[in-house]
Amino acid sequence: MSLIETVSDVNNTFLSRRELICNFAGLGGKLKKLEAIDMISKEFKLDGKVIIPMKLQTHVGKPLITGTFYVYDDEKLAKEHVNPAIFSRLEKAKNPAEETPAKEKPEVKAEEPGEDKKEEPAKEAKAEEKPQETPKETKAEEEKPKESE
């Protein structure tokens, strides 16, 4: 599929995690986080460990992605160290089918090309703003100020 090149592989004993930085050649714009997790787990034989993709960075003009991953032995420790928003995004990416029915988006009716709904409310608003005056009333109002002079 593609070539995974290890940029750095550090064992952080203070935080009890392994920090991997890898380059994915030839996958610019095509790699998803879950696919990257699968590739890393197969490459480094990390079955049964918690792999968290922290950052996938693309490079301008190159089909190259640099990924930063944290590998924990214990999921509880990982949840203490890493921002909960990252876990919620991973869960959402794993289960996209469960999220969409709950929101229930309203149906949008397809409009015909000849119809334009923006013009109709504008015409109605103009009609409501100006009450129609009869020409006799306007002439009578104009004559009154002249008489007082």
Contact status, residue 40 vs residue 51, Cβ threshold 8 Å = yes
The three-point CA angle 64-68-69 to 5° equals 130
Give the residue from 48, 50, 68, 67 showing the smallest Cα distance to 58. Answer: 67
The pTM score is 0.61
CA dihedral (137, 141, 146, 149) in degrees, to 10, reads 150
Q: Residue 55 has which token pair?
A: 């950052």
Single-letter amino acid, residue 59: H
Tens-binned pLDDT, residue by residue, of the chain (149 aa)? 458 899 999 999 999 999 999 999 988 888 888 999 999 999 899 888 999 999 999 999 989 999 999 999 998 999 999 999 988 988 888 887 765 554 555 566 666 565 555 555 555 555 556 556 556 655 555 555 555 54
- CB count, 10 Å around CB of 72? 20
Give the HSE-up count for residue 143: Cα atoms under 13 Å, Cβ half-sphere: 6
Fold annotation for 3-100:
Alpha-Beta Plaits (3.30.70)
Q: Are 50 and 78 in contact (CB under 8 A)?
A: yes
- Alpha-carbon Rg for the chain, nearest whole angstrom, is 32
SS3 79: helix
